Structure 1
């Protein structure tokens, strides 16, 4: 048998009607001097806060009529009748005013969210589906459903040295974080075309971010740095190089196995301006083989710092949902997103960015 359930759109109507009927019954059967006027007056308030203006106006008019009819049926004198009608009418007018304010605020909020989303998309466009020997997929999930803007970023770019990519996390939120993201991506896109190695690319990004910090003042919104993983896949797809600048390590997925690629030598985040004080020049990139069909999974700390109800951090390597064969990078993004959501029961404290590149079995011929 089919079970009928009220839709969410009908709930405000049902609630207003229920309150209205309860007010009539209380006015009719409650002992004097108790009346149902407070409940009658509550119906317009509910309608004003939850329904459209026309619907709320209809509820106000019906409530005024019901108030008069109830008083007439009880045989009340004209003065109490008019007082009750004035009370209901005044509250109804306030409810309609509240309705207009709510509608205006919702419209302004929707406009602000659309503008923020437009800025985010302009700064962080969707990566291409195919680049060189790689198939690409990406996902971004905000910590809150209302938030469409944050400090996680990624980009993929074909260069003379192979396909280069970056995933990073600005220490901050909102417009200030997006400004920092735009700088980081702009520097990456420029320097990725000319830096001979990933190590050099990381150093140039660090220098550019440090110069920007000096020009604009302390980057308090970023806490002064950006964590990132820079990766490079050779033109034939055989070789994968990695430089990790203080970011959660990436993962290699192949033949149903998932392996975390920890850096051989940990390095400092970008934007600190301390590369000259370290041995960054002597730290080579980590190099691994990328077999046909293998995927490189890059994430932000919204994945690795996701917790379950006991406070245990999520670990993709230990998850059964990630130890399987994936047909394409989109399947990896979907599986990881669902797995993290299951682990946290849908609750997250940080944005979550995912970038997956998969070496295609038949790479394009290199001229």
Structure 2
């Protein structure tokens, strides 16, 4: 019976999609209602005992132990009602039905618990593999990079094991500290591949390209080459995929230079007030170069003084909603945090504010990269590329 139901769950309805889980969860209760209708009408001559015993067996497949117990209680209640209505108490058939229902209910409850434990173990294993795969691509950001202090945060949405498409990196170079934050459309292996390609191109180009725009162009060209590889992406990503990206550079002077390709603008915290660094000339995301019109893309400069803080983030932060469908007010949350908090503590407080706002139910992945401008001399650039993630 359970093998048959699992096969049914894998089938598409009319060849399109899968049977909704909610529909399968309703089946045991619909059967119970059908039995009740039969027993309380002139059709009560139909023997409904096997239908009642099937209710906990069906519930064990999709409802878990608690749902199975609820379905068994529901079936028992129907059996009592129908036996009373039909004045069948004392007959061998009634007690046989009760015994069969009790045996199937206990077996279904135990089987459901075992199935749930097995599914949880499998999901935990897949999650561990997904996290390990993502940590290979995104590594912790150093606490000190040249003339800035840095910290990063990455949160996965939901309870599934899908690997997200958020990316970031911070690298100290001879041109200053260069950073990238991006968001690949979609999840899964295709998104991870796009993240790896974009970060690989960024890590290489930041050390050799004088112009920040050329670094972005290298990332775009690498993604175009990857999409052209047969079988690199599934059909959905190939047709509709794109990557929003923001590249920032903090040179020796009191400025920050930005190149933005369709990404949420960074926020600058200066003397307790937050300013949104909106791009002067908005540009489409990577992968949508056909929409590029007008003058060539240029880096835009903004004042970034010692003591200022710059936050780069993905859209999962500002699009996080509460029960009333209100978006998370990121600028107000930044202004409400103690200015002297070190970058890791500052991001942790933002994290807690986000969790409170969404009650722990994130609809999208979240990534944030925070840098503080220092007063002192910058450290010499390191030989290796900078890094990217501290999952919380």
Taking structure 1 as the reference length, the TM-score comes to: 0.70
2:277 paired residue number: 261
Pairing partner for 2:184 from 157, 167, 170: 170
State whether structure 2 residue 241 is matched by structure 1 residue 227: no
Counterpart check, 1:241 vs 2:257: yes
User: 1:131 is matched with which residue?
Assistant: 145
TM-score norm. by structure 2 comes to 0.66
Q: Is the 8 A contact 2:265 2:278 kept in 1?
A: yes
Deviation track 1:290-314 (CA, whole Å, cap 9, x = no partner) reads 2122111011111222234444433
Say yes or no: does 1:286 pair with 2:300. Answer: yes
* Residue pairs, 1:120-199, within 5 angstroms: 120-147=134-161, 149-199=163-213
SS for the counterpart of 1:252 is strand
Cα pair 1:245 1:268 within 8 Å, conserved:
yes
Deviation at 1:216, TM superposition (A): 3.6
Secondary structure of 1:268's counterpart equals coil
Pairwise CA distance, 1:253: 1.0
Kept in 2, the 8 Å contact 1:321–1:335? The answer is: no
**Quick one: distance in 2 between partners of 1:193 and 1:286?**
20
Is contact 1:116-1:148 (8 Å) kept? yes
Q: Measured at CA, do residues 148 and 354 of structure 1 come closer, stay the same or move farther in structure 2, by a change above 3 Å?
A: farther
Aligned residues of 2:257 and 2:300 also touching (Cα < 8 A): yes
* CA distance 1:98–1:203, change in 2 (3 Å): same
Q: By how many angstroms is 1:250 displaced?
A: 0.1
| Whole-angstrom CA distance in 2 between matches of 1:233 and 1:109 | 42
Superposed CA offset, 1:109-137 (max 9, x none): 11111111111111112222221122111
Alignment of 1:4-43 (within 5 A): none
2:313 to 299, 303, 306: 299
Q: Following TM superposition, by how much is the alpha carbon of 1:258 offset from its aligned partner in structure 2, in angstroms? A: 1.0
Gaps of 5+ in 2: 1-51, 67-89, 382-392
- Kept in 1, the 8 Å contact 2:151–2:369? The answer is yes
In 2, Cα distance between equivalents of 1:126 and 1:224: 27
2:127 to 95, 108, 113: 113
Q: How much has 1:340 moved relative to structure 2? A: 3.0
Q: Is 1:101 aligned with 2:115?
A: yes
Cα distance 1:116–1:253, how it changes in 2: closer, same or farther (>3 A)? same
Shift of 1:263: 0.8
CA distance, structure 1, for counterparts of residue 159 and residue 111 of structure 2: 28
Cα distance change of structure 1 residues 88 and 230 upon mapping to structure 2, 3 Å threshold: same
CA contact (8 A) 1:252 1:297 kept: yes
Aligned equivalent of 1:317, options 315, 323, 331? 331
CA-CA distance at 1:343 after TM superposition: 3.5
8 Å CA contact 1:249–1:298 kept in 2: the answer is yes
Is the alpha carbon distance of 1:91 and 1:276 closer, same or farther for their aligned partners in structure 2, counting shifts above 3 Å? closer
Unaligned stretches of 5+ in structure 1?
Answer: 1-37, 52-75
Partner of 2:80: none
Shift of 1:224: 2.7
What is the Cα-based RMSD across aligned positions, in Å? Answer: 3.5
Secondary structure at the aligned position of 2:178 is classed as: strand
**1:203–1:275: 8 Å Cα contact kept in structure 2?**
no
How many pairs are equivalent? 300
Measure the CA separation in 1 of the matches of 2:334 and 2:311: 16
Structure 1 position 205 matched with structure 2 position 208: no
Distance 1:193 1:93, change over 3 A: same
1:303 match: secondary structure: helix
